[in-house]
Amino acid sequence: MQALKSEWDLEPHAPLHVLEDYFGALPRWCPGCGDHAALNAVRRLALDKQLAPERTVVVSGIGCSSRFPHYMKTYGFHGLHGRAFPVACGVRSRRPDLHVFVVTGDGDCCAIGAGHWIHALRYNMDLTVLLLDNNIYGLTKNQTSPTTRMGEPSNTHPHGAVLAPLNPLTVALGVTNTAFVAQTVDWNPPHVYATIRAAYEHRGTSFVRILQRCPHFSAHVFDDAIEDPSRILLMEHERGIPLDPAVRERFPNRQTHDPHNLDAARAIAARDDVYPIGLFYRKEDAPCYEAFTQQGLAMTQAEKLAAIEAAIERFAI
């Protein structure tokens, strides 16, 4: 008896993933490190979105935050210092089917990797970027980073940092073709999750700065905001970061901000009297460079060889 086509031509059901499917190695970050909050949020996002581990990639550079790929049971690339972005852009350009996360630190991103960071924002390829900013070089034990506040002592500046810190938000908002810039704080996990989820759901490069405590070297730098929630300015809008009312009420200082208003986003990002969190800017129709880098992916081997031969012929004498 011949089987009906419907009996053998059905697509197999995709497996239902559970949280443990995203658990890699046991995290070796210090207890109280803000990196744990980011890791838990990404794992929860992967579960809620049912991201297949074999189609998910976490790319990092060097630093405490850059150990992130080891702790996700997905593909990962633990790269060189400051070089997470070119690796991630390369992955994205040839494997558009993958979900690509970039995890970097304030030194990794804003110092040695600053050039790659700026151009990755400009390229606007579909990447979810998490900048875990603890204001210090933690892995190499307490050196001044680009975001260390003026006057903060460190091993490289024992009498205090002598230059004003770089502001990753104003830098990102000043780059041509930037399409998504947001900020959150590690001590409010619901807001961390909501922000990362909104970033993942945006098509293009989503840049999320996470103010993150280092329990050994910079635990005190955010004490004022932790002890006094009014020091945090929650940006809210119907096109912003969606929050449950219970989470929203934890922030008494709130401001309506349209994330399509770039000038207002830059003004809020430049404030140093409060810690603004939420979505600063979003541009849904910003061009994505991967639309060009992915050309030719469907070519057969014969077509590729013919194209190479044609290119060589152009230079024949």
Which of the 8 DSSP states describes residue 230?
G
Which of the 8 DSSP states describes residue 177?
T
Q: Which domains does the chain have, with CATH numbers?
A: 25-313 (3.40.50.970)
* Bridge partner residues of 256 (DSSP): 236
Please report, for residues 131, 133, 137, 258, the alpha-carbon distance to residue 205 in angstroms, rounded to integers and kept in the order given.
Answer: 13, 18, 25, 19
User: Backbone phi, then psi, for 249, in 5-degree steps?
Assistant: -70, -15
Distance of alpha carbon 315 from alpha carbon 142, whole angstroms = 55
Residue 125: per-residue pLDDT: 97
* Bridge partner residues of 126 (DSSP): none
Distance of alpha carbon 288 from alpha carbon 266, whole angstroms = 22
Instruction: List average pLDDT for each run of 10 residues in the chain, which is 317 residues long.
Output: 55 82 96 96 98 98 96 96 96 95 97 97 98 94 94 94 96 98 97 98 98 92 94 97 94 97 98 97 96 86 90 86
Helix axes 35-48, 189-201, angle to 10 degrees: 50
CB contact at 8 A, 169 and 147: no
In the chain, the percentage of residues whose pLDDT exceeds 90 is: 88
Q: What is the pLDDT of residues 204-225, one digit of tens each?
A: 999 999 999 999 999 899 999 9
